[in-house]
Amino acid sequence: MSRKEVFFMDKQVKYESVFAPYFDSFLKMKDTMGYGLYKYERIFLDLDRFFLKSRATATYISSEQIAAWRATRVNDKARTLYDKYSVLSQFCKYMCHLGHECYIPRLPRRKDLDFIPYVFTHEQMRCIFQECNRLNLFRGNMNTALVAIPALIRFLYSTGARINEALSIRNMDIDYQNHQVIIRKTKNKMQRIVPINPSLEEVMKQYEGYRDRMPVEGPADKEHFFFMKANGKTFTNSTAYRWFKKVLKQCGIPHIGKMQGPRIHDIRHTCAVHSL
């Protein structure tokens, strides 16, 4: 049986079920189309373990198998389960296209999704900006993203960009002359241009001034990520979220947790509402 090696969450894993070569070819197809693979790799790993444990040997997926898999997902929240069904449905259609008869499951009804976006008030956003400016470290740490957080939060609020989109921006994507930023890595795989107003531009240039004086190699290089840690490396949305939760606490804004927010992504919803 062939085994597909992929990189998942920074360590090597192997698909080992009978569907391993098909997971492989599906991922290659999605990669060619420009899709990010992380979600697919993660969900395929879950499915691969299920098919291994259930000792599946035939290269088709029945409704009974899907029901048995669903019975193992008792702790998945509605949104997580919806995403998994979406990927499984795509994979079953792909298998049918290759000549392997598979049952194509229906997606759960989206009304079952139990998340309500949080919209910050104007006063809360003012407090968030103030507390971002007051963030500090009690000891030197070159692995911190603190230096970028105040500018990042203002960028998200002013442009309505998603956190992953903002963190993917490189220096070459910023066009101060035309007051705009090119976002190349978007959710829908389409590049778009977002305008930057004078106040945001001032914040970004001030951040650049601090950033470019750091004792690291090439922070101003055109290929370098715009938002970076003190050691010159990029950082993840989870790192930004940890700092954001500290800011919420300082502002006295309750954080429920367990995906109930407020999340850093809710700044995007807030931007949309405040722009009306």
> Per-residue pLDDT for the chain (276 aa), expressed as one digit of tens each?
344 444 444 455 689 999 999 999 999 998 887 777 888 999 999 999 999 999 999 999 999 999 999 999 999 888 889 999 999 999 999 999 999 999 999 988 765 455 678 999 999 999 999 999 999 876 678 889 999 999 999 999 999 999 999 999 999 999 999 999 999 887 767 789 999 999 999 999 999 999 999 999 999 999 999 999 999 999 999 999 999 999 999 999 998 866 667 999 999 999 999 998
- Measured distance CA(40)–CA(27) in Å, rounded: 7
State pTM to two decimals.
0.67
What type of residue sits at position 175? Answer: D
The residue out of 112, 138, 171 marking a domain boundary is 112
Q: Which residues pair with 5 in a beta bridge?
A: 14
The residue out of 112, 134, 165 marking a domain boundary is 112
Same domain, 147 and 200: yes
Residue 5 has a pLDDT of 42
Is residue 59 domain-resident?
yes
Question: DSSP label at 231?
Answer: T
Same domain, 91 and 146: no
Same domain, 230 and 135: yes
Closest CA to 240 of 190, 139, 170, 165: 165
Is residue 23 domain-resident?
yes
Same domain, 81 and 129: no
pLDDT digits (tens, 9 = 90+) for 230-249: 999 999 999 999 999 999 99
201: helix, strand or coil: helix
Same domain, 90 and 201: no
The residue out of 81, 112, 143 marking a domain boundary is 112
Same domain, 269 and 176: yes
Same domain, 139 and 250: yes
Here the tokens at position 212 are 């470019």
Same domain, 83 and 155: no
For every residue of 91-157, DSSP letters joined together read HHHHHHHTT-----PPPPPGGG---------HHHHHHHHHHHHH---SS--TT--GGGHHHHHHHHH
Residue 26 burial (C-beta neighbours within 10 Å; 0-12, 13-18, 19+): buried
Domain with residue 218: its CATH number is 1.10.443.10
Residue 198, preceding peptide bond in cis (omega within 30° of 0): no
Same domain, 134 and 12: no
- Measured distance CA(31)–CA(43) in Å, rounded: 16
Is residue 69 domain-resident?
yes
Total domains present in the chain: 2
Same domain, 83 and 218: no
- Strand duo 174-175 + 11-15: pairing: unpaired
Residue-range definition of the domain harbouring residue 160: 122-274
Same domain, 25 and 158: no
Here the tokens at position 171 are 């220096």
Is residue 117 domain-resident?
no
Burial 191-214 (b: 16+ CB within 10 A, else e): eeebebeeebbebbeebbeebeee
198: helix, strand or coil: helix
pLDDT digits (tens, 9 = 90+) for 171-214: 999 999 999 999 988 776 778 999 999 999 999 999 999 999 99
Same domain, 128 and 106: no
